Amino acid sequence: MKKGIYIFLRFLIKIALHLYYKRILVEGAENIPKNQPVILVANHQNALIDPLVVGAHISIRPYFLTRAAVFKNPVAAYLLNLVQMLPVYRVMDGFSTIPQNQRTFQKTNQVLQQNGSVLIFAEGNHSIVRNIRPLSKGFTRMAYGALAEAPEIKPVVVPVGIQYSAHKKSGSVVKISIGKPIPVDPDPAQALKLTRQVEAALKSMVVDLPNTDYDETLQRLLSNQVDVCSKEDVERYLVDNQVATKVKPAGYLMNKMMKLFHLPLYWIWLFGIAPKMEDEVFTSTWKFVIGGVLAPIYYGLILICCFIPGYGTWAISFLLMAWITVFWNENSQE
């Protein structure tokens, strides 16, 4: 039953993601092995969008490790449990909560021992800054914890790079790059070496701008229409000042039209959520939730108006235009 719900929810989430984003590109999907313990280690740039976009576009059904704070709401906790998300408690959640991580690691041990998979965002926090931050030891703890209980298993770590052309906007581009699997050396003394291997793999897959003069560098890339989701294009520009393929700015008309035809939903975001949001990294998460949960209700109400005498033609035309603006919505890089 739970498996069926998971598959159904993943299907709905995948459809919603492709409506929210203009394009979702996946490279290296064939690098994920099957019938083997897999730890997917990804960078973390876009809050809850990251696990959703990865989970919906790979062939396996991983468990996800995510910040415990999002489990505080009982309804959210129930839904997160259905899509196989597990809480990770951090110091900022209170020192008393840290021991609760033991239950999470016990679960990941069981999953890996059964040739399952786990996705972890090893940077330990999220940021829209386009670089790789130092990796925490959580994924090596999982790997060697599972090996300690079942030495016969052969876990691998698969690096996953996630990039966004515009982190906070719909109608943008997402690029998922999946690297070659890295075998886990059974010797726990090699944990640090494994961490460095995975960190190097991630840096080779995604745009990794230095913190020094970061804003200035990013602005140069955007001004010269360099594809900020292409590591090769970015490095070519920074080294040789050459632009391989220019990314033209998107027009604003269709995005404005989409907001107009979805004005009640846009107002909920603009006046209800945005002023109270403390962390900008959750921008797309909230927009996606508003669209995914409230848009079907909004469309349903318009559909009801189609059967009201004198309003049918207008309601149908309005609904069609609302759908068209969603499909044609596009935003520029940022």
Q: Write out the DSSP string of 58-94.
A: SSS--EEEEEGGGGSSHHHHHHHHHTTEEEE--GGG-
> Both tokens of residue 55?
């989970």
DSSP helix/strand/coil, 56: coil
CA 259 to CA 262: how far, in whole Å? 5
CB 25 within 8 A of CB 175: yes
pLDDT in tens, 243-276: 989 999 998 899 999 999 999 999 999 999 999 9
| pLDDT at residue number 7 | 87
Q: Which of 257, 253, 233 is nearest to 322 (CA)?
A: 257
Residues above pLDDT 90, as percent of the chain = 80
pLDDT in tens, 214-223: 999 999 999 9
List, by residue range, all CATH 3.40.1130.10 domains of the chain: 2-205
CB 40 within 8 A of CB 118: yes
Residue type for position 166: A
CA 303 to CA 125: how far, in whole Å? 42
Task: Give the Cβ contact number of residue 313 at 10 Å.
Answer: 9
| pLDDT at residue number 78 | 82
pLDDT in tens, 169-213: 999 999 999 999 999 999 999 999 999 999 999 999 999 999 999
pLDDT surpasses 70 at 53: yes
In this structure, the dihedral spanned by the alpha carbons of residues 297, 67, 99 and 199, taken in order and rounded to 10 degrees, is 150
Residue 154's alpha-carbon distances to 79, 106, 304, in angstroms, are 31, 18, 56
Residue 136's alpha-carbon distances to 198, 199, 277, in angstroms, are 11, 10, 27
CA 101 to CA 197: how far, in whole Å? 25
CA 316 to CA 331: how far, in whole Å? 27
Q: Which of 216, 207, 172, 227 is nearest to 43 (CA)?
A: 207
Predicted TM-score of the model (pTM): 0.93
pLDDT in tens, 122-150: 998 899 999 999 999 999 999 999 999 99
pLDDT in tens, 10-25: 999 999 999 999 999 9
- Minimum mean pLDDT among 86-95, 160-169, 272-281: which range? 86-95
CA 242 to chain centroid, in Å, comes to 30
Q: Let me know the angle formed at the C-alpha of 112 by 76 and 153, rounded to the nearest 5 degrees.
A: 175
CA 284 to chain centroid, in Å, comes to 10
At 91, the pLDDT band (50, 70, 90 cuts) reads low
Average pLDDT, the chain: 93
- β-sheet bridge partners, residue 88: 67
- β-sheet bridge partners, residue 159: 41
Residue 305's alpha-carbon distances to 8, 19, 272, in angstroms, are 29, 24, 26
CATH number for the domain running over 2-205: 3.40.1130.10
- Give me the phi and psi of 86, to 5 degrees please: -120, 140
